[in-house]
Amino acid sequence: MRYNPSEIEKKWQKFWDERNSFEPSENKTLPKKYILSMFPYPSGRIHMGHVRNYAIGDALARYWRKRECNVLHPIGWDAFGMPAENAAIKHGVHPKKWTYENIEYMRKELSSLGLSFSKEREFATCDPLYTKYEQAFFIDMWNRGLVYRKKGHLNWCPHDMTVLANEQVIDGKCWRCDTPIVQKEMHQYYIKITDYADELLEDLKKLEGGWPPQVIAMQRNWIGKSVGLEFSFLLDEESRKKSGFESFEVFTTRPDTICGVTYAAVAPEHPLVKALVENGLLDETTKEKIERMCRMPARERNIAEKEGVPLGIYALHPITGEKVPVWAANFVLMEYGSGAVMAVPAHDTRDYAFAKKYGLPIRYVVFPESGELPENEAYTEDGIVKGCGEFDGLKGQQARDAIIEWFEKKGLGKKVINFRLKDWGVSRQRYWGAPIPMVHCPKCGVVPQKKELLPVTLPDDVEITGEGNPLDHHPTWKFTKCPVCGGDATRETDTLDTFVQSSWYFLRYTTPRKYWEEVAFTKEDANYWMPVDQYVGGIEHAILHLLYARFFTKVLRDLGYVDVDEPFKRLLTQGMVLKDGAKMSKSKGNVVDPDALIEKYGADTARLFILFAAPPTQELEWNDSAVEGAFRFLKKLYDRAMKVESCGEMPRIDHKSLQKSEKDARRKVYEALLRGEEVYTERFTFNTLIAACMEALNALDRQKNPKVWQEGMWILLNLLEPVVPHICWELSEKLFCRANFGEIGTKDEVFEVESVKMGVSINGKPRAQIEVAPDASKEQILEAARKAASKWVEGKTIVKEIVVPNKLVNIVVK
RNA sequence: GCGGACGUGGUGGAAUUGGUAGACACGCCAGACUUAGGAUCUGGUGCCGCAAGGUGUGGAGGUUCAAGUCCUCUCGUCCGCACCA
């Protein structure tokens, strides 16, 4: 019998399917493992990234099932979003049809990989039943004051005709279609993620050890907490009269440098500037310069040269009372802090460059503890304050604290914490999304829909042209009654950002399908299964999805739906799959199609290759001949297994009576077993486990003892089942009636050896090898070592001798 | 600029607490079997050298009996953020 993957794989997939083999138990007294690979967007076909993602998750799920855990390993579909609408525009297919057909097709593709998903708990986020609860959460959040509506400058993608969150703007371009973003002013709904900024930051500590440091760092950076002093810059009397402003606020993280302030700078969009323009106090060229600065998009501003104009007004230094000029400058951002800064050219590189360009004074007030001030640049390090009256002599944090205290005592300013994180704008002017369940009533204003009327569903009869919002253009959909007064009203026509759906889908899975009509999920179920024990997905979600999901979990906790603080205990970020050094993409023409691969070699070969070629967190370079190698291993495994006699339990072997090659084989097998434990539970370096299994099979091949073969296969098939399930079920069924699929304990006897090989080094250089009894004394070992290395020892004085048991001997000679 | 990851044969990668660097696999070379094979099997394969030996984990120092692993500096690659006050 030759290895025939397509036959074996069909057989077992059918077997698993018919028996619903992978449904979790509802018995909550069992130890649980929640293993989750990020759910896919139903784009049409799976790609190698999916294969990798689900091969990793499936291996872990299958492993824990063997350890007698209750395993939740679900799959679903992140099904709302723009590609469905783009398909509608291009090909005239309805987004719903396009999406569900894609799901149908991709489900088949995934099932051909033999993944052990719970079929029962699968759903798509575009299912109205999912929308229903999402809308209910939104209303809960609105009622809690966590959602608000605001008119503001928004990132607008002219191609997709929609608003984007800051997180969705990459290099000033749309994250989806790469179109440059423009600023547009409009109303939209915001979720107050900033209310949770501190907790989102603090709780990153809880994730240390479980999440990659890189992802934690990226989130920390994105939240961007900075502590400093906020104070008012009073304007001098004349400037007050001119502008109608008393003062303006500034924020600084370096109050210790405050006495080095020689000017102040405000953003070109600052209200103070507007007032001066409106009062006709600026000449034409100044106004022109300001307008030009305002027009320049943010991403160009940060590469442009520092530029600014004096506004002809003066502020009073809060400590010295000195008059300092106020400038409008292109490097000051309106969106951060108060849109104005105190400028200390001596201790800030930006302020320095600006001061040099416009000939503004530079005054050093912080000096290094040792050494000299740098020449021709700002000194930005901490140091000792000099030239600042009562604060002289203080250094670094000490000085900062003292100065903040001084401001607070005098009531001139206060300690303030600023975050870079902005509230999450969730309105999208699109059709294929969850409708925002709000109603605009001429009498009652903007009010939430009644919960018993949820879900607010999408109308099917829409025309999708790519221009404007189809829901807004629909002839009847938006007309409704006000849930408060019952009068005529209109529905909100914006839909929710798709990241809202992916922010809680992992909670939906925790409750069995039969309850889905009544609840989003039960608290009991969520508390049993959460947090996800192992989450697996791409690094590209390091900020967006993972931050929103963490935030949502905390909000739902505060709303009383669940008790956990963090949704994902451990996170594994898989590397990309590359071909010819580049990410696989249609445009580059370097795509390897998973279907074709499975067709040719089978799912087990695909899974084996993808887990063997590189550790899961690293990039994986595609290599056709290495795929061939993976296939070869499976053929060999199958061929050798066919020669093993079947048995119902693990054979008992008298280890002492075995020949050396037989003992070696057993040792290799048990080494693989130990490696398996650590790979599946801690390290996830499946490549090393597979290598250990290959070594074990090679070692088994060098001996002929039928019992050693039986035991070896018993263990290897158990170890490899999570990676290559089909072939392992087939062979285990044939040989052991699958009795080998439980937990297997190690055996100390196989690691006992008659002799150990040790290296002998002279002055650290490996020179010879000795073989000694495992219980040999230090003296015996040294004697053997001196003899073996006599060539290098003769005529020299031995200075020192080190024996590392079972490893090596190092003799130091002179 | 800030933050993070990484650098080992022709290639992917092993080496978990410092202890014989290069496991396992790909590729390549030689051989066996075969009508043939992109099949299978055996042996070899870091580099220099006929050999003895030397040398070798991006580079330079250091700690140590011993460094891919620890420390300092440096070069390079990749990723994220970025005029954030």
How long is the CA A410 to C1' B30 vector, in angstroms?
90
How long is the CA A713 to C1' B46 vector, in angstroms?
34
Q: Is the peptide bond between A310 and the residue preceding it cis, with omega within 30 degrees of 0? A: no
How long is the CA A763 to C1' B73 vector, in angstroms?
27
Find all residues with CB under 8 Å of A67, minimum gap 6, and list them: A743
Within 7 A of a protein CB, which nucleotides of strand B?
2-5, 11-16, 19-21, 23-27, 39-42, 53-55, 65-67, 79-85
A94: exposed, middle or buried (Cβ count in 10 Å: 0-12, 13-18, 19+): middle
Helices (H), A411-560: 470-473, 505-508, 523-529, 544-558
How long is the CA A604 to C1' B26 vector, in angstroms?
19
Protein residue closest via CA to C1' of B20 = A759
How long is the CA A621 to C1' B66 vector, in angstroms?
36
> Which nucleotide is nearest, taking the CA of residue A631 and each C1'?
B25
Q: Give the pLDDT mean for A195-212.
A: 92
How long is the CA A9 to C1' B74 vector, in angstroms?
54
pLDDT at A35 over 90: yes
Q: Give the pLDDT mean for A348-373.
A: 89
Query: What digits encode the pLDDT tens for the residues A649-670?
Result: 999 999 999 998 999 999 999 9
At residue A380, the pLDDT reads 87
C-beta contacts of A119-122 below 8 A and 24+ residues apart: A119/A17, A119/A20, A119/A22, A119/A23, A120/A20, A120/A23, A120/A512, A120/A513, A121/A72, A121/A74, A121/A76, A121/A509, A121/A512, A121/A513, A122/A74, A122/A75, A122/A76, A122/A77
> Which nucleotide is nearest, taking the CA of residue A334 and each C1'?
B84
Q: Which residue has the higher pLDDT, A632 or A169?
A: A632
Dist CA A814 CA A270 (whole Å) = 77
pLDDT at A167 over 80: no
Query: What digits encode the pLDDT tens for the residues A364-374?
Result: 999 988 777 87
Query: What digits encode the pLDDT tens for the residues A656-712?
Result: 999 989 999 999 999 999 999 999 999 999 999 999 999 999 999 999 999 999 999
By the 8 A CB rule, do A342 and A407 touch? no
pTM for this structure? 0.92
At residue A166, the pLDDT reads 66
Protein residue closest via CA to C1' of B27 = A625
How long is the CA A758 to C1' B56 vector, in angstroms?
22
How long is the CA A203 to C1' B45 vector, in angstroms?
52
By the 8 A CB rule, do A82 and A176 touch? yes
Tokens of A196: 């949770």
Protein residue closest via CA to C1' of B24 = A691
How long is the CA A545 to C1' B75 vector, in angstroms?
36
Tokens of A106: 């991709």
> Which nucleotide is nearest, taking the CA of residue A418 and each C1'?
B84
> Which nucleotide is nearest, taking the CA of residue A801 and each C1'?
B65
Q: What residue type is assigned to position A509 of the chain?
A: Y
How long is the CA A717 to C1' B62 vector, in angstroms?
49
Task: Give the percent of chain A with pLDDT over 90.
Answer: 69
Q: What is the DSSP letter of A233?
A: E
Q: Which residue has the higher pLDDT, A441 or A301?
A: A441
By the 8 A CB rule, do A348 and A378 touch? yes
Low-confidence winner among A246-250, A562-566, A586-590 (lowest mean pLDDT): A586-590
At residue A186, the pLDDT reads 83
Query: What digits encode the pLDDT tens for the residues A377-391?
Result: 888 888 899 988 889
Dist CA A600 CA A402 (whole Å) = 72
pLDDT at A301 over 70: yes
At residue A717, the pLDDT reads 97
Find all residues with CB under 8 Å of A449, minimum gap 6, and list them: A135, A139, A437, A438, A439, A456, A483
> Which nucleotide is nearest, taking the CA of residue A306 and each C1'?
B83
Strand partners, A620: A577
pLDDT at A773 over 90: no
Q: What residue type is assigned to position A437 of the chain?
A: P
At residue A464, the pLDDT reads 86
Protein residue closest via CA to C1' of B15 = A688
Count of other CB atoms within 10 angstroms of residue A700: 25
> Which nucleotide is nearest, taking the CA of residue A693 and each C1'?
B24
